[in-house]
Amino acid sequence: MALTGKPFGGEGKPLADAFGRRISYLRLSVTDRCDFRCRYCMAEKMQFLPKREILTIEELAALADTFIARGIRKIRLTGGEPLVRRGIEELVRILGGRIGDGLDELTLTTNASQLRRHAAGLAEAGVRRINVSVDSLDPERFGFITRGGDLAVVLDGIAAAREAGLAVKINMVALKDLNETEIEPMLRWCAAEGHDLTLIETMPLGEVEDDRTDRYLPLDGVRRGLESRFTLTPLDYRTGGPARYARVEELDARIGFITPLTNNFCDGCNRVRVTATGQIYMCLGFDDRLDLRKALREGDAGELDRLLDRAMRLKPERHAFKIDRAGAAPAVSRHMSVTGG
């Protein structure tokens, strides 16, 4: 498809919100489906969207081009699990062709269950690094957290990524009384394997069977615990997202912390998220969204640009996440798998 009004890849007004923040990073979901059911992310029995509501590969590429024309320099493909999406390698090839032509980087977040068969294709298309979600290195605990995921398959997928030349960053959601004793072993494993590690606080998105108050593990305390055993030197290193990094001197490793609750990072937000149905969310912590799909499918480039301008005016200064009492409703009703990680 081609939108009328301006060619893709053409020059447009850079996206900037009402607080003067330049928006240069798009997290683009390609599906709400996933082959895991991680306890902090999804309900065990999910109701997925009908296929007709999901953007086609061609539509996703066209939408990405519109964002690139408005100054987006980095795109991360997300889900659900992006590698379960039919046609994902075609989309990666298309967007990989934009690198150096408006786009600086194309990345992907995955659970690695399908990575063995896709790693080489991702690398060939221009992807240089990926994020992989691994919340435990204990097979039984991993299966419990993911509700049935196979750790051996995930580790094999990570090995395939390394064979293909992809840099791997491990994302670990810190969960009280579940995987908190594994944080140091995970750090040591990542150091030995040559992976960065990013720890993430659980976020109140969507109704899940577990009570997040029971599982919430503040990362300020985790960091203090690590600092009692290691020397953590703060780094200026950034990957475009909210993680703040430190070097673990004794292990010659890098660790990141994503702290939406204990240390709000919104002042430097450079991101928007678009769902697989073409809804743009200006902030992960609010339900406010605009529908880009209608303008996209009608080929109305002018309306699409107007919607993006409106999205910038509506983007809030910061989120309102909090986990302050047992049984409290989530901050927003949608699951993380709907918005994209």
Beta strands in 6-116 (DSSP E): 25-29, 74-78, 105-110
Q: Which two tokens stand for residue 193?
A: 């394997």
The response to whether 31 counts as a known ligand-binding position is no
Instruction: Provide the H-helix boundaries in 70-136.
Output: 88-96, 115-125
* 70 annotated binding-site participant: no
Q: Is 76 annotated as a binding residue?
A: yes
Is position 190 annotated in a ligand binding site?
A: no
Number of residues written out for the chain? 341
Contact 251, 191 (CB under 8 A): yes
283 known member of a binding site: yes
Q: CB–CB of 200/170 below 8 Å?
A: no
For residue 341, what are its two tokens?
């990680």
Give the CA dihedral 17, 19, 20, 21, nearest 10 degrees: -70
Tokens 């670990």 sit at which residue?
172
- Would you say 34 is a known binding-site residue? yes
Angstrom distance (rounded) from CA 285 to CA 313: 16
Q: Residue 80 annotated as binding?
A: yes
Nearest of 233, 169, 166 to residue 199 by alpha carbon: 169
Does residue 310 have a known ligand-binding role? Answer: no
27 is an annotated ligand-binding site residue: yes
Report angle CA 83, 304, 126 to the nearest 5 degrees: 35
22 annotated as a binding-site residue: no
> Is 45 marked as a binding-site residue?
no
* Ligand-binding site membership of 244 (annotated): no
Cβ-contact 271, 340 below 8 angstroms = no
Residues placed in the known binding site for GTP? 27, 76, 109, 169, 271-273
Residues placed in the known binding site? 27, 34, 38, 40-41, 76, 80, 109, 133, 169, 203, 266, 269, 271-273, 283
Residues placed in the known binding site for S-adenosyl-L-methionine? 40, 80, 133, 203
Residues placed in the known binding site for [4Fe-4S] cluster? 34, 38, 41, 266, 269, 283
